[in-house]
């Protein structure tokens, strides 16, 4: 279904981004991976995706907190003769603290990666999409793009912000073949969440298993984690022709979190 398309998935060396990259590759899309990690491990992931799905997979190590590196990444992709048809703005970080204790530099970092990077990547990707009159921009927001939790000021602000950005990009391109939508996952068991489980276990003197159950119990009525594979399949749907009129949506996949 996506043969001949090229997808850039930011933060795809791990977690949800890797799940989305795998799902798009399964549909035949060539991939540009991005994210941090051990160089040998990233190359193993890159080569593994090529072998498993028979697609071309390259890697760009841009630090998306640096807007100049985002421009340079798109220039490098262009130099290789590729253009991005599908942009998945997924890279993100978390920091947990009450507002009065929130380190200003962590606020800046969370906003830079979870919100501003999606603006800069969209700004760089749109001209080539507009030229071809086809494109998909998928922003990985969160249940925290729709509702808040204590101690997550920067994350909640960034995720609410990215849903606003999604709507603007969708409207500006509404009469074209370019759609822009957000996916709003609930808890997914990735390294980002494992850190919060470990912190909860340490703070409450409970085991990691107990912390996992209490984390889910607070927010996610299904009491089950969402999986990166499920989010990948939703991204594939948003790339399909059937989703051509899905524009500016904030699509939940959260075990019922935001239904409460």
Which residue is catalytic, options 107, 155, 187, 257?
A: 155
Q: Is 83 in the site for ligand NAD (CB under 6 A)?
A: no
Q: What's phi and psi for 34, nearest 5 deg?
A: -150, 150
Q: Select from 32-40, 49-57, 100-108, 173-181 the region that touches ligand NAD (CB under 6 A).
A: 32-40
- Strand pairing class (250-253; 57-60): unpaired
Q: Would residue 59 show up in a list of annotated catalytic residues for this protein?
A: no
Cβ 145 to ligand NAD shortest distance, Å: 8
Calpha distance 46→56 (Å, rounded) = 9
Q: How far is the CB of 241 from ligand NAD (least distance, A)?
A: 26
Scanning 7-15, 24-32, 98-106, 118-126 for contacts with ligand NAD by CB under 6 A, the matching segment is 7-15
Through-space distance between the first and last CA atoms of the chain, rounded to whole angstroms: 36
Mark the segment that binds ligand NAD (CB under 6 A) among 8-16, 24-32, 99-107, 118-126.
8-16
Q: Tell the smallest beta-carbon distance from residue 138 to ligand NAD (Å).
A: 11
Measured from the Cβ of residue 218, the count of other Cβ atoms closer than 10 Å reads 11
Name the H helices within the chain. 15-26, 39-53, 67-79, 104-111, 117-132, 153-172, 191-204, 208-219, 228-239
Minimum CB separation of residue 251 from ligand NAD in Å reads 12
Is residue 257 within the footprint of ligand NAD (CB under 6 A)? no
At residue 154, the 3 state secondary structure works out as: helix
Within positions 161 to 200, which residues make up the interface with ligand NAD, using CB under 6 A?
185, 187-188, 190-193
d(CA 10, CA 7): 10
Residues that bind ligand NAD (CB under 6 A): 10-11, 13-17, 34-37, 63-65, 90-93, 113-114, 140, 142, 185, 187-188, 190-193
């Amino acid at each position: 279904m996506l043969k001949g398309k090229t997808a850039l998935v930011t933060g795809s060396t791990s977690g949800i981004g890797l799940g989305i990259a795998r799902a798009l590759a399964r549909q035949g899309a060539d991939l540009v991976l991005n994210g941090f990690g051990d160089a040998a491990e990233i190359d193993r992931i890159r080569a593994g995706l090529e072998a498993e799905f028979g697609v071309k997979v390259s890697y760009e190590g841009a630090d998306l907190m640096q807007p100049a590196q985002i421009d340079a990444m798109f220039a490098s992709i262009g130099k290789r003769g590729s253009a991005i048809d599908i942009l998945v703005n997924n890279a993100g970080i978390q920091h947990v603290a009450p507002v009065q204790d929130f380190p200003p530099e962590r606020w800046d970092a969370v906003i830079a990666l979870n919100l501003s990077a999606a603006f800069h990547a969209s700004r760089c990707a749109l001209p080539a999409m507009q030229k071809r009159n086809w494109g998909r921009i998928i922003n990985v927001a969160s249940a925290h793009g729709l509702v808040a939790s204590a101690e997550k000021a920067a994350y909640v602000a960034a995720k609410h912000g990215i849903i606003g950005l999604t709507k603007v990009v969708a409207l500006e391109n509404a009469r074209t073949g370019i759609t822009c939508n957000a996916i709003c996952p609930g808890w997914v068991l990735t390294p980002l969440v494992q850190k919060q489980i470990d912190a909860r276990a340490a703070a409450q003197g409970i085991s990691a298993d107990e912390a996992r159950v209490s984390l889910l119990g607070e927010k996610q009525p299904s009491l089950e984690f969402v999986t990166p594979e499920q989010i990948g399949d939703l991204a594939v749907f948003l790339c399909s022709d059937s989703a051509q009129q899905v524009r500016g949506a904030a699509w939940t996949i959260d075990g019922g979190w935001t239904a409460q």
